Chains A and B, each alone.
Chain A
Amino acid sequence: MVDVVLQNIKKAFGDVEVIKGVDLHIEDREFAVFVGPSGCGKSTLLRMIAGLESISDGDLMIDGQRVNDLSPAERGIAMVFQTYALYPHMTVRDNMGFSLRLAKLPKAEIERKVNEAARILKLEPLLDRKPKALSGGQRQRVAIGRAIVRNPKVFLFDEPLSNLDAALRVQMRIEIARMHSDFDATMIYVTHDQVEAMTMANKIVVLQGGVIEQVGSPLELYHHPRNRFVAGFIGSPTMNFIDTQVQNVQAESVTVSLPGGGSVTAPVKDRGLKVGDKITLGVRPEHLLESGGDGQIQGKVLVVERLGGATYIYAQIEGNQTLTAEIDGNSPVKVNDAVTLGLSGATCHLFTTDGLALEQAARHPLAAIDRGHSVAH
């Protein structure tokens, strides 16, 4: 049982506080992903867990032990860096065996562990090469191998895939996910790429400005964002936000007006709203319909992006606002066409002026689902 617990963790550089009190419980064998925009503190937080940055305040517990003052090597963690950080003058074999050599393990033992890791990662033919003779993906694998041989309690990944090309990134994503289910290890993964976060995580931690915005499963964050920031950060293209007003308030639903005169009723729990209150309606591009829906918005197409399977349209609507919609790839829509975009109440999110979301009346059935341990078997 290896869980990682952060209790009111803070980090200050001089007077500047970059991590402002983080409480987080990462459970045993969980794949936690820290995600957020640049400068949100996700990498700093990871480096604090690794022991590369000191902790200004709070407690960090790994496996029930307070590790604030332990050196990185004593924490039972292994880290994979964005730039791989391989030792250029050592062969792949020596790179992977370095930590074991420092720990003064017998030669045969080192050999056995390195070979085992090389077998898992299919690095056997490359063991006697130097890092510069390897491709990016191979270097990444060596870096992972270096982590595996230490048999750590917790794996830490600092944006490990950002230096790879798109195809390799998908492949490595699958390999890391498979590694997670094979090793049954606790993993913490930092990325700015929300696709990586959505596909790999059991638990996504969305950070902004040194505080946690929301913690939850990928689909929980997608369907039940706690606030406007999370709603905008998760999902691609970004959620549309329309400034509007409350038209009617019932027990388990709120009706808001739409630009152009229509209205839509979202099944959300009221939080003391009054008719006429300002409110922000959020709807994802993939939930806008080309026809039908509970409410309609008229607009004029500004830009059409055809991806083949789907088409993104950017439409101008009343009030000089722009809506992004994901529609069928076979739609013949053209620039300057008039479109009527429909939205259904169930897929609407409402945000009050303080940015907080109104809670959905019903939980999405998949919100609690796990990534599952059979992803790539």
Chain B
Amino acid sequence: MTTLANQQMTAKPAKNTREIDTRPLLWPSVIVLFLWMIVPLAMTLYFSVIRYNLLNPMLTGFAGLENYTFLFEDPALWTSLWNTLVLVGSVLIITVVFGTLFAVLYNAEFHGRGVARLLVIAPFFVMPTVSALVWKNMLMHPVNGLFAWLQSLVGMEPTDWFTNYPMLSVIVIVSWQWVPFAFLILLTAIQSLDQEQKEAARIDGAGPVDMFFHIVLPHLNRAISVVIMIETIFLLTIFAEIYVTTSGGPGTATTNLAWLIYSVGLLQFDVGYASAGGVIAVVLANIVAIFLVRTVSRNLQQG
């Protein structure tokens, strides 16, 4: 990501007709941003190659790649990577599908549309910890939860969601929070669809389904890639929802990379080991980001 930003900066044509060189004026912000990035990164890199455990101050010294070796031998790493993938992938699919459907639905004219739109967007304003608590204690709770009550109404055994379907529960909560974002972006995109294009399609004989697949969806293509890009960056670091609900468990069922790093560093106090995990996370995030930014920018240029 950093390299990409740098590229953009240098690629800017120097069409400066003014006498004064204005580039030095950029330096303060460039320097601040650079320090903002490089100091934590350098510290993480440094911690990842030393022996640093908060519970054992006697354990010091250069560790070389020991932390990394341990990490790669730890099955929890691979589980957490898989969990991260499952979480991000499922939430992306759910939010894009529901975001698109809601956008189409709430673009139609009906009475009270403004209020309805506001209600769809509302979950986005709730902070992650609060929404996780609401889901945990008021909806999915096996005793007090709304779902349990509904199940008891039809004579079913209440489900203990976080014990039996931990990952599904987390996915549901996170999706609930991110559907509004997708909805908002896609709704604005759908509103920019040329009315005459839709009318032309109607004259060409397109029914609602054809209209959706041949006209609306291609039009939303770019907006959907923007949604995917932005959401991926945020979803890779999902933490609060897991912290509040499952604490990465049961076992490692909902341990994603962010939670793994947290638990190693701040529950087991092995800073060196956690830093190695952090470096892995940075590398992975950058790989994903490079791919995403490339695809999306290509997509945006095409459109």
Residues of A near any B CB (own CB < 8 A): 50-52, 71-73, 77-79, 81-83, 85-90, 98-99, 102-103, 146, 150
Question: Does the CB pair B196–A102 fall under 8 Å?
Answer: no
Contacts of A86 in B (CB 8 A): 197, 200
Q: Given A87-B215, A89-B221, are A102 and B205 neighbors across the interface (CB < 8 Å)? A: yes
Give complex CA distance A89, B202 in Å.
Answer: 17
Contacts of A102 in B (CB 8 A): 204-206, 210
Give complex CA distance A88, B194 in Å.
Answer: 10
Give complex CA distance A150, B206 in Å.
Answer: 13
Contacts of A52 in B (CB 8 A): 199, 202-203
Closest 7 CB pairs of A and B: A73-B205, A99-B204, A85-B196, A89-B218, A85-B200, A72-B203, A102-B205
Give complex CA distance A90, B197 in Å.
Answer: 12
Q: Please pick, from B201, B203, B206, the residue contacting A50 in the complex, using a CB distance under 8 A.
A: B203
> Is B117 part of the contact surface with A, judged by Cβ < 8 Å?
no
Q: Please pick, from A78, A83, A89, A90, the residue contacting B203 in the complex, using a CB distance under 8 A.
A: A78
Number of A-B contacts (CB under 8 A): 61
Say which size band chain B's interface belongs to: 10 to 19
Determine the residue in chain B with the shortest Cβ distance to A71: B202
B299 to chain A minimum Cβ distance, whole angstroms, is 12
The main secondary structure of chain B at its interface with chain A is: helix
Question: Does the CB pair A81–B219 fall under 8 Å?
Answer: no
| 30 A-B contact pairs sorted by A residue (CB < 8 Å) | A50-B199, A51-B202, A52-B199, A52-B203, A71-B202, A72-B202, A73-B202, A73-B205, A77-B203, A78-B203, A79-B200, A79-B203, A81-B199, A81-B200, A85-B194, A85-B196, A85-B197, A85-B199, A85-B200, A87-B197, A87-B201, A87-B214, A87-B215, A89-B219, A90-B218, A98-B201, A98-B204, A98-B206, A102-B204, A102-B206
B209 to chain A minimum Cβ distance, whole angstroms, is 10
B193-240 contacts to A, CB under 8 A, are: 194, 196-197, 199-206, 210, 214-215, 218-219, 221
Contacts of A98 in B (CB 8 A): 201, 204, 206, 214
Question: Would you give the 0/1 interface string for B138-153, flagging 1 where the beta carbon is closer than 8 Å to chain A?
Answer: 0000000000000000
Residues of B near any A CB (own CB < 8 A): 194, 196-197, 199-206, 210, 214-215, 218-219, 221
Contacts of B197 in A (CB 8 A): 85-88
Give complex CA distance A98, B199 in Å.
Answer: 13
Contacts of B203 in A (CB 8 A): 50-52, 72-73, 77-79, 99
Contacts of A73 in B (CB 8 A): 202-206
Give complex CA distance A79, B199 in Å.
Answer: 9
